[in-house]
Structure 1
Amino acid sequence: MAKSLFFPGNVPLRLSQIPRSISSHNQTNSSLPLSSTTKQFRHGFQRILHFDAKSTRSLCTKAVISEIPNQRYYPKVGAHSTGPIPASQLLQVVETAAKTGAQVVMEAVNKPQNISYKGVTDLVTDTDKMSEAAILDVVNKNFGDHLVLGEEGGIIGDSSSDYLWCIDPLDGTTNFAHCYPSFAVSVGVLFRGKPAAASVVEFVGGPMCWNTRTFSATAGGGAFCNGKKIHVSQTEQVERSLLVTGFGYEHDHAWATNMELFKEFTDISRGVRRLGAAAVDMCHVALGIVEAYWEYRLKPWDMAAGVLIVEEAGGAITRMDGGKFCVFDRSVLVSNGALHARLLEKIAPATEKLKSENFEHSLWFKPENYTTDL
């Protein structure tokens, strides 16, 4: 018998409970300047969905060093504000969307799955599709003029919107199909290309004892788990850290490079885990139970929610080459901040070498004509 998914107070959220207008004072994040050590390069977009024309961007491989010894700051990835929509209203819809998708997943988690394949080992279930449909219904009922990028449905809506919803209806589908814990529903919304609000519903436990916990964040508003504020760990030594990484389905140069990084960090840390769900991995960094997570070739729907939750919990986010990160990048390193520079000492050179071997590092899955502040 499938268990019901309950929310705070054991009362399921209903769309009718979402106020259309809730007053709120939005806090803003001021982005810190990049290091003067930069280099320019050209990039083009791969034709997978729709992408912008060629443009230039900066690569920053050094953090901004403060006057405080051993303290480094990294450029913020979150939006300066949630825009014209109050933060409380936007977050309530984001959380409701994620929890609505999670209800679909909860009802299916102990039942046989109808599985199909995107690749040799990259699978998708009917639950992925039903969860995304349920999430889209919430978004459309509240913000029908917003643009949506879903893992299963692709681009939907008006590309002139300042808002882009990045939806992963079931992050960790393989784990879900095997009833192995470490999967989640992830919903993040960007304002002009930068994360503004996020919610991740993580499934914990296992067969016969499934439960959930909900992570959430707004730009400048802090990060929370089940309504309680969370913060990254304060660990400053790699030797005392527990780390997490991930591997894509393609066993190519990026896969081999990360396998070497996996070996190196396993040798010098308390261990490196591979759990199989990017949103979950990032939320664990935000919760302070692991110190860092990195991976190549993630998609916007994998990262949009998680990176904001980590940043609002006090963590740091860059690309794996050390450059300023955005959700359309092909690599990410998130950490508690204190370890970030130490991790980059090994990760950045390996990534630069990979780029010299024709690893594609341009932005991808950025909808054509979508306006950003990037």
Structure 2
Amino acid sequence: MNTAQIIDKAMVATEKAGAFLLESARKIQKSDIEVKGSNDFVTYVDKTAENMLLEELSSILPGSSFIAEESGISEKRGEFTWIIDPLDGTTNYIHHVPLYSISIGLMKGDELVGGIIYEPNAKEMFHAVKGEGAFLNNSKIAVTQNPKMADSLWATGFPYHQFEKLGEYMNFIAWSMQHTHGLRRLGSAAVDMAWVACGRLDGFFEFGLKPWDVAAGTILIEEAGGKVTDFSGGDKHIFNQELIASNPYIYEEFFKNFHEIFFRK
């Protein structure tokens, strides 16, 4: 079974988990919400959806390993590793804001080879396979070709527990508000990245992110022709908790201004 066939099967499992999220959204109660940390929540829905995915993905690739938001890192058992967020946008979900997603990345060794982001409210299934492009509901997608920050639309997320860089972050947000068409804060980093991949946004940046937030989005954007780095311009963004993603034409202008403002001494 090749990577494309693996991802096809995984999309079926993802759609089932998405149906569960939608069905459960109507039933969620305040008593179902657990607090993991400052502004960090989990519900039985996250846990059940993750267990559904673990079971299905294990059957697709027996012996594969997992890095998952709720259950953590499994023992390394084979060459393939699934990186899973069963509900990216839990805060939106518990407040009945209909924008959240399932995010699944697939690594072979240390290389991302596939990714899926599913936004069940809109029934939008994004997927990518290394070397084969990125797709939305099986139609090929691409990042924008806009080269100017002045004509761009970006997304970001606000830190919810790592506040030590909040001042620098807000300085750059203030600059962005004055030098772009605007910033959006959707509440799901995976959706932010999917929207960059399909050209709805020119770029996305955030810090404090986890591997399950960004793995699938990384391969989507790269296969759609975009560029993804950490804040230093390197390739440590999946495990380094910081990320810049954009079309390749606007990246340098963003990076220059971001560094001048965010790292100002």
Which TM-score applies when normalising by structure 2? 0.94
Alpha-carbon displacement from aligned partner over 1:88-127 (angstroms, at most 9, x marks no partner): 2221233123222212101112223311101132111111
Question: Contact 2:230 / 2:244 at 8 angstroms: preserved in 1?
Answer: yes
- The Cα offsets for residues 175-214 of structure 1, whole Å up to 9 and x where unpaired, read as 011111321011111111221111111134xxxxxx3210
- Shift, 1:237, TM fit: 1.0
Q: Which is bigger in relative contact order (C-alpha 8 A, separation at least 6)?
A: 1
**Superposed counterparts of 1:222-237, under 5 Å:** 222-237=133-148
- Any conservation in 1 of the 2:168–2:263 contact (CA below 8 Å)? no
Change (3 A) 1:105 1:174: same
Counterparts of 1:253-264 in structure 2, within 5 Å, are 253-264=164-175
1:169 paired to 2:86? yes
Task: Mark the runs of 5 or more structure 2 residues left unpaired by the alignment.
Answer: none
Aligned to 1:145: 63
1:193 maps to which residue? 110
Aligned to 1:92: 8
Find out whether 1:346 has 2:257 as its counterpart: yes
Number of aligned residue pairs: 263
Q: Deviations over 1:2-34 (max 9, x none)?
A: xxxxxxxxxxxxxxxxxxx4xxxxxxxxxxxxx
| C-alpha RMSD of the superposition | 1.6
1:125-136 to 2 correspondence within 5 Å? 125-136=43-54
Larger radius of gyration between Structure 1 and Structure 2: 1
Return the alpha-carbon distance in structure 2 between the equivalents of residues 250 and 147 of structure 1. 28
1:212 aligns with 2:123: yes
Asked whether the 8 Å contact 1:295–1:331 carries over to 2, the reply is yes
CA distance in 2, matches of 1:302, 1:136: 17
Checking the alignment, whether the CA contact within 8 Å between 1:101 and 1:135 is kept in structure 2 is: yes
For 1:193 and 1:94, the matched residues in 2 are separated by 20
Deviations 1:108-148 (A, max 9, x none): 12223311101132111111001101000111112221110
User: Structure 1 residue 103 and structure 2 residue 19: aligned?
Assistant: yes
| Residue identity opposite 2:20 in structure 1 | V
Which structure 2 residues correspond to residues 1-374 of structure 1 after superposition, within 5 A?
21=1, 86-113=2-29, 114-157=32-75, 159-204=76-121, 211-350=122-261, 352=263
Kindly provide the CA deviation profile for residues 50-107 of structure 1, in whole angstroms up to 9, marking residues without a partner as x.
xxxxxxxxxxxxxxxxxxxxxxxxxxxxxxxxxxxx1222212331232222121011
CA contact (8 A) 2:192 2:204 kept: yes
Confirm or deny: 8 A CA contact 1:93 1:138 kept in the other structure: no
Q: Which runs of no fewer than 5 residues in structure 1 stay unpaired? A: 1-20, 22-85, 205-210, 355-374
The residue identity in structure 1 corresponding to 2:124 is: R
> TM-score w.r.t. structure 1 length?
0.67
User: What is the rounded CA distance, in whole Å, between the counterparts of 1:351 and 1:145 in structure 2?
Assistant: 43
> SS at 1:253's partner residue?
coil
Rounded Cα–Cα distance in structure 2 between residues aligned with 1:349 and 1:276:
26
1:167 & 1:202 partners in 2: Cα distance?
A: 14
Cα offset, 1:254, TM superposition: 2.2
- Going from structure 1 to structure 2, the CA distance change for 1:144 and 1:352 (only over 3 Å counts) comes to farther
Which structure shows the higher helix fraction?
2
Structure 2 equivalent of residue 14 of structure 1:
none
- The sequence identity of aligned pairs, in percent, is 32
> Matches of 1:146 and 1:349 in 2, distance apart?
43
Q: Post-superposition, which runs of at least 4 consecutive aligned residues in structure 1 deviate over 6 A?
A: none
* Aligned-partner Cα distance in 2 for 1:351–1:262: 10
CA contact (8 A) 2:144 2:247 kept: yes
